[in-house]
């Protein structure tokens, strides 16, 4: 079955910049350093960004508790 | 029993465009690349769309955490 | 004990039109094609309807994640 | 211990009219046909009622998902 | 350890009037007839009361689903 | 590992005044009489207080359901 | 797998100042004294701070229940 594909995507994104949309609306960008099956995430050089992708607040290294995560995506470059 | 029918529908939708309504109201459209029994989803060429089905924001590949999913449907074509 | 009666009602409703009230207020109508013990539902010819039962949006086939379901009922005909 | 008393109350209410207060505020009245340990309920001749106990909407037979239930009571007659 | 003290307090309150504060703000008063480890409660002669402890609505016997309970206390008499 | 430190702090606070911040904003002060691993709490001489630490409502003995607890702290004295 | 990286980050932060963003928006700063796999946290010299990092309220030692935690980060110094 295709049940491991979420973790495979996360695995391929290790060391890459990802966007993380949280419940409640916050949008984070950072380099994915780790994750687990609950979607707890560790991001490096994390920053809170606005919906037009401009940085608003530097957060450094953060641990995000998985049950606040709504969706995760490899960062899309401008114009893509 | 009919207990596997949700996963059967998702299975048949692999590689097809689906609409995903999230809790809180967001509506996503993308090509279903994977799912698991928690309804964690992987969508490709995902985009956030408005209620009249026009694209609002390109998201690329996304992993959606299942507990944010309200409902999923194969995309309905205009006029259907 | 009477613990299986919910599933029995759903079983008897297979192939019939049901109304599904979701948390947050949305009201769906569709033909019940499947369900499981979490009340995940598959509806065919689903439509979002308003509180006076007029259709507002065609949804086609949908998978509804059970934890968004508030209540389910066989569709009541006008005037009943 | 007194741990089964909730189910005992529900058991004694089978076939009787009950009031069900849902999270979010809705109030239902109907004849209790079944329940389980999650407080999933089946009500017959169910109706949504307002806080002064007047019927607002006929619902027929409904299955209520237990985690939406706030409290259940045998219907109190007017003037009690 | 002191892990059973919540249930011990509830046990000592059987047959006594308790106040129950629900999530969302409702305040109930009634005679505690039963409870279980989920804090599902059975109250007799229950009434919904306002914050100044005046009765607003008679509820009779009610079953309260535990996950709606915020806190429970033996009723405090006026002036205490 | 340091996994038991929360319970150790609570254990050391038995018999002492603690402040409990609940989800939704309520702030309680009382003498901690017991707790368990779910952070269900028993407080004695409990009172609801405002953010400037003045008592607003006497609650007596209360059982607080753990999943409403946001944080707990030994009471900080004025000026600390 | 990289599933333990969240706890590794927390482990490395023991004895250091961390920022904790809670669900609902509160922001805490304190010295991390302990944590467990639920992300229950013990902070010392904790203070509630505003979004521009100025202290608003001294909290002393606090136990934070993990399911209120949105994200945790080692404190970022001004200008970083």
Chains touching A (3+ CB pairs < 8 Å): B, G
Quick one: pLDDT band at residue C79, thresholds 50, 70, 90? very low
Q: What per-residue confidence (pLDDT) applies to E29?
A: 96
What are the structural domains of chain E? 5-74 (2.30.30.100)
Q: What per-residue confidence (pLDDT) applies to G3?
A: 52
Residue B3, chain C, CB below 8 Å: the answer is yes
Residue C45, chain B, CB below 8 Å: the answer is no
Q: What is the pLDDT of residues B1-33, one digit of tens each?
A: 345 788 888 999 999 999 999 998 899 999 999
- The residue of chain E nearest to residue F46, with distances taken between CA atoms, is E73
**Beta carbons of C69 and D65 less than 8 Å apart:** yes
- The reply to whether ipTM tops 0.95 is no
Quick one: pLDDT band at residue E56, thresholds 50, 70, 90? confident
Tokens, residue B43? 């969508």
Asked if residues B77 and B28 have their Cβ atoms less than 8 Å apart, the reply is no
| Rounded Cα distance, E75 and F17, in Å | 21
Question: Nearest CA of chain C to the CA of B60: how many Å?
Answer: 23
Question: Nearest CA of chain G to the CA of F54: how many Å?
Answer: 15
Question: Nearest CA of chain C to the CA of D80: how many Å?
Answer: 29
Q: Is residue D76 over pLDDT 70? A: no
Residue F5, chain G, CB below 8 Å: the answer is yes
Q: Is residue A3 over pLDDT 80? A: no
Question: In the block, which residue shows the tokens 């904003």?
Answer: F25
Chains touching D (3+ CB pairs < 8 Å): C, E
Give G-chain residues touching A45 at CB under 8 angstroms.
none
Give E-chain residues touching F14 at CB under 8 angstroms.
2
Give G-chain residues touching F4 at CB under 8 angstroms.
34, 36
What's the predicted TM-score (pTM) here? 0.88
Quick one: pLDDT band at residue C3, thresholds 50, 70, 90? low
Tokens, residue D42? 């089946």
| Rounded Cα distance, C45 and C31, in Å | 6
Q: Is residue A55 over pLDDT 50? A: yes
Q: Is residue C76 over pLDDT 60? A: no
Residue G20, chain F, CB below 8 Å: the answer is no
Q: What per-residue confidence (pLDDT) applies to G1?
A: 39
Give E-chain residues touching D23 at CB under 8 angstroms.
24, 68
| Rounded Cα distance, E50 and E31, in Å | 17
For chain D, the first-to-last Cα distance in angstroms comes to 31
Asked if residues B70 and B22 have their Cβ atoms less than 8 Å apart, the reply is yes
What φ, ψ does residue G29 adopt, rounded to 5°?
A: -130, 135
CB count in 10 Å sphere of residue G12: 12
Q: What per-residue confidence (pLDDT) applies to G80?
A: 42
**Beta carbons of A42 and G5 less than 8 Å apart:** yes
- The residue of chain B nearest to residue C15, with distances taken between CA atoms, is B2
Give E-chain residues touching F37 at CB under 8 angstroms.
3
Burial G17-48 (b: 16+ CB within 10 A, else e): bbbbbbbeebbbbbbbbbbbeebbbbbbebbb
**Beta carbons of E6 and F59 less than 8 Å apart:** no
* β-bridge partners, E48: E28, E57
Q: Given its phi and psi angles, is residue F7 left (phi above 0), alpha (psi -120 to 50 degrees) or beta?
A: alpha
Question: Nearest CA of chain F to the CA of G57: how many Å?
Answer: 10
Q: What per-residue confidence (pLDDT) applies to A2?
A: 46
Give E-chain residues touching D9 at CB under 8 angstroms.
42, 61, 63
Q: Is residue E1 over pLDDT 50? A: no
CB count in 10 Å sphere of residue C77: 9
Q: Helix or strand or coil: residue B49?
A: strand
Residue F70, chain E, CB below 8 Å: the answer is no
Residue B27, chain A, CB below 8 Å: the answer is no
Question: In the block, which residue shows the tokens 């920053």?
Answer: A47
Tokens, residue B62? 């996304």
Q: What is the pLDDT of residues C42-59, one digit of tens each?
A: 999 999 998 777 888 899
- The residue of chain F nearest to residue E79, with distances taken between CA atoms, is F58
Question: Nearest CA of chain E to the CA of F37: how many Å?
Answer: 7
Asked if residues F18 and F75 have their Cβ atoms less than 8 Å apart, the reply is yes
Averaged pLDDT, E4-28 = 92
Residue B41, chain C, CB below 8 Å: the answer is no
**Beta carbons of E34 and D73 less than 8 Å apart:** no
Residue C5, chain D, CB below 8 Å: the answer is yes
Q: What is the pLDDT of residues G40-54, one digit of tens each?
A: 999 999 999 987 778
Burial C40-52 (b: 16+ CB within 10 A, else e): bbbbbebbbbeee
Q: Is residue A80 over pLDDT 50? A: no
Compare CB distances from A64 to G2, G71, G74 and report the shortest one's residue. G71
Q: What is the DSSP letter of A53?
A: S
Quick one: pLDDT band at residue G37, thresholds 50, 70, 90? confident
Give D-chain residues touching E40 at CB under 8 angstroms.
6
Q: What is the pLDDT of residues F22-31, one digit of tens each?
A: 998 899 999 9
Give C-chain residues touching B76 at CB under 8 angstroms.
58-60
Give A-chain residues touching G51 at CB under 8 angstroms.
57
Distances (CA, A) of C47 to A64, B55, C63, D1: 37, 21, 12, 48
């Amino acid at each position: 079955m295709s049940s491991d594909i979420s973790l495979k995507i996360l695995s391929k994104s290790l060391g890459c910049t990802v966007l993380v949309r949280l419940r409640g609306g916050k949008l984070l960008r950072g380099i994915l350093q780790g994750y687990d099956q609950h979607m707890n995430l560790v991001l490096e050089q994390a920053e809170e960004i606005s919906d037009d992708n401009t940085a608003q607040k530097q957060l450094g290294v953060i641990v995000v508790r998985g049950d606040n995560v709504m969706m995760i995506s490899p960062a899309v470059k401008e114009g893509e």
